[in-house]
Structure 1
Amino acid sequence: MTHQGLIVATYQVLKDALGHFGRDDGFAMASHVALSALLAVFPLLIFIAALAGFFGLDGAADSVSKIVFEAWPQRVAEPLSGEINRVLTQRRPDLITFGVVAAIWFASNGVEALRTALNRAYRQRETRSLIYLRLQSLGLVVLGAIILIAYTFLVVLAPLGLAALKVYLPGLEEFLLSIDIIRFGVAGSLLLLGLVATHWLLPAGHRRIVDLLPGVAATMVLWMIAGASFGAYLASFANYVTTYGGLAGIMSAIVFLYICSAAFILGGELNAALYRVRAMRKQAKRAA
């Protein structure tokens, strides 16, 4: 493909993705995903607290919440992390029984919101059983909780062991540094794998994993830009306190999640647009 042809193809793909995002109420879906994600955070962490307590890993949920909010702008993360910490430090005897079931169920509503958004982005109509879909959502919540606990071990607990080894084996410092880099690389890849799994499992239809990578990469880049830009905006210009008073922290979190949700949906729209272009080219070759 020539340089000019590449520019034309890129323009067509972006026009298709952005046009479908606008026509299919992408901004409204982003609001739905953002609110559902915010409502799912507390039940998910409560369930993680119960699961970690079952395995004897006290404090893991608090560590997970710190890790989850570490990538958020500070002024967005502080109000939520403070409230979550207060929730997790309370004694919760109900976690052993109904509380765990309720927490998983409400957390799975966030998964269903992602599914609805991706079905629209990929131009898919859901035909699978509602029971199957809900069981899949519940299973993904449990799996996600286990992965986050493992993430906590990689990022929070492993440095303690590495520090001890550095004391007793100082000559292995460079080697341990390489292990440290690998550890953070593995932890960071969890986000990438989570996005790929979300695009692959949740929406209806069948897609190859390789076809999902452009949208996943675009989402991650947009998330990094959104985090840096929104953080700078809050620090320099925005004053939510004068507008929302005591709700300023939660409103800034909702706006940030709204931006991130729009980027997530745009990733699906980009994949769908690329798939449509490839299908049109195959059809043209067959006609020729």
Structure 2
Amino acid sequence: MKRLRTVFTAIYRLYEHSGFAMAGAVAFAFVVSLFPFCIFLGGLAGLFGGRELAAEAIHQLFQNLPQDVAEALVPQVEAIMGRTRIDLLTFGGFLALFFATSAVETLRAALNGAYRVVETRSYPACLGLSMLLVLVSAASMLVLTWAVVVGPAFAQQMIEPSWVKTLFDSTWLGPTARYTLGGIVIGAQLLAFHLWLAAGKRRLSDVLPGVVFSVVVWLTIAGLYSYYLSISNYARFYAGLSQLMIAMIFFQVTAVIIILGAELNRGIMEFKKLANGTHPDFMLPTHDGDVS
């Protein structure tokens, strides 16, 4: 009962502190930064496995998304990747990395609001951290691609026993491994966002509940969103823009889930302060005499 009350409190705080509006900004920034990120990912993949690895990495990037969302974005991304080639050590590589940080920077502002912290780091420091997180995210996508695609294929060629091929060809292993690895990568990225992207200092135990909550809810929502799209008709509302809006709405829901995880973490931390006899931040009086 107490945990359920904490979740409902976090939802209310999300509404009270404009979390839904910030989620819209994060979703827009994500769409804006998606194409530069894919270009940067292609350039990074070129250093290790060529365009084939880049193509597989892009495929894996959209693999866990609802089918309609992926169908709206993949053709445009493939078109960009087909005619845009960059060297990471050129100015074009730096620009791709810079514009790819748009979503991370917007998410930083949203997480700062959820944790009620004020940014004290300089802009160059924040921008450098965002670029580092984008670089780590791109590298993690390549690792995930190798683990899901290249690794099994390599194992089948190098190991003779027939049970290996049977194991990798089984109907349950592919989706299970994909979603498990995807959940691990998403969880690791969220941990980095909560621990280092947002201002202030938090321990792993402080942010872990919100991260687990976000990953579980996101995987559930992704499946339900696919079912919802199969029984709805977005073209009635958005006509030719329906595919774009499907992606935008899903990204906004994703941002809401991430910010809600931060609100949940903050609520748990404040309840711990209250239990320890420390005056919690959410009980401090506001300018009009009410409690925040």
Report the TM-score range of the alignment, normalised by the length of the smaller protein. 0.7 to 0.9
Instruction: Output the CA distance in 2 between the equivalents of 1:148 and 1:281.
Output: 41
**Aligned 8 A contact 1:219 1:264 in 2:** yes
Instruction: Output the CA distance in 1 between the equivalents of 2:218 and 2:274.
Output: 30
**Aligned 8 A contact 1:216 1:267 in 2:** yes
- Tell me the residue number matched to 1:112: 105
Distance 1:93 1:204, change over 3 A: closer
The correspondence of residues 76-155 of structure 1 with structure 2, limited to 5 A, is 76-92=69-85, 97-155=90-148
Deviations 1:14-71 (A, max 9, x none): 3431221111101101101111111111111100111111334222222122112111
One-letter amino acid matched to 2:221: A
**Aligned 8 A contact 1:154 1:187 in 2:** no
Q: Return the structure number with greater relative CO, CA threshold 8 A, min gap 6.
A: 1
**Aligned 8 A contact 1:40 1:110 in 2:** yes
Instruction: Output the CA distance in 1 between the equivalents of 2:181 and 2:218.
Output: 19
The correspondence of residues 66-77 of structure 1 with structure 2, limited to 5 A, is 66-77=59-70
Higher mean C-alpha displacement, 42-51 vs 61-70: 61-70
Instruction: Output the CA distance in 2 between the equivalents of 1:79 and 1:44.
Output: 17
| Post-superposition offset of 1:169 | 2.8
Q: Tell me, which stretches of 5 or more residues in structure 2 are unaligned? A: 280-292
**Aligned 8 A contact 2:104 2:130 in 1:** yes
**Aligned 8 A contact 1:50 1:96 in 2:** no
Matched, 1:160 2:153: yes
One-letter amino acid matched to 1:194: Q
Indicate the RMSD between aligned Cα atoms, in angstroms.
2.5
**Paired residue total:** 275
- Tell me the residue number matched to 1:209: 204
Match 2:227 to one of 217, 232, 238 = 232
- Tell me the residue number matched to 2:189: 194
Instruction: Output the CA distance in 1 between the equivalents of 2:240 and 2:87.
Output: 30
Instruction: Output the CA distance in 2 between the equivalents of 1:284 and 1:66.
Output: 49
Matched, 1:263 2:257: yes
Distance 1:271 1:46, change over 3 A: same
Instruction: Output the CA distance in 2 between the equivalents of 1:152 and 1:59.
Output: 11
The correspondence of residues 12-91 of structure 1 with structure 2, limited to 5 A, is 12-91=5-84
| Post-superposition offset of 1:84 | 0.4
- Tell me the residue number matched to 2:288: none
| Post-superposition offset of 1:176 | 7.5
Distance 1:93 1:120, change over 3 A: closer
Instruction: Output the CA distance in 1 between the equivalents of 2:120 and 2:34.
Output: 28
* TM-score normalised over the length of structure 1: 0.87
| Post-superposition offset of 1:235 | 0.5
One-letter amino acid matched to 1:283: G
Distance 1:187 1:262, change over 3 A: closer
Higher mean C-alpha displacement, 62-71 vs 182-191: 182-191
- Tell me the residue number matched to 1:250: 244
Deviations 1:170-215 (A, max 9, x none): 36668879xx799755564222111111111111111111221111
Deviations 1:69-117 (A, max 9, x none): 1111111111201110111111536766332111100111111111111
Identity %: 32
Higher mean C-alpha displacement, 67-76 vs 15-24: 15-24
Distance 1:171 1:119, change over 3 A: closer
Q: Counterpart of 1:72 in 2: which secondary structure?
A: coil
* TM-score normalised over the length of structure 2: 0.86
One-letter amino acid matched to 1:170: S
Q: Counterpart of 2:277 in 1: which secondary structure?
A: helix
Distance 1:284 1:31, change over 3 A: closer
Q: Tell me, which stretches of 5 or more residues in structure 1 are unaligned? A: 1-6
- Tell me the residue number matched to 1:4: none
Higher mean C-alpha displacement, 90-99 vs 115-124: 90-99
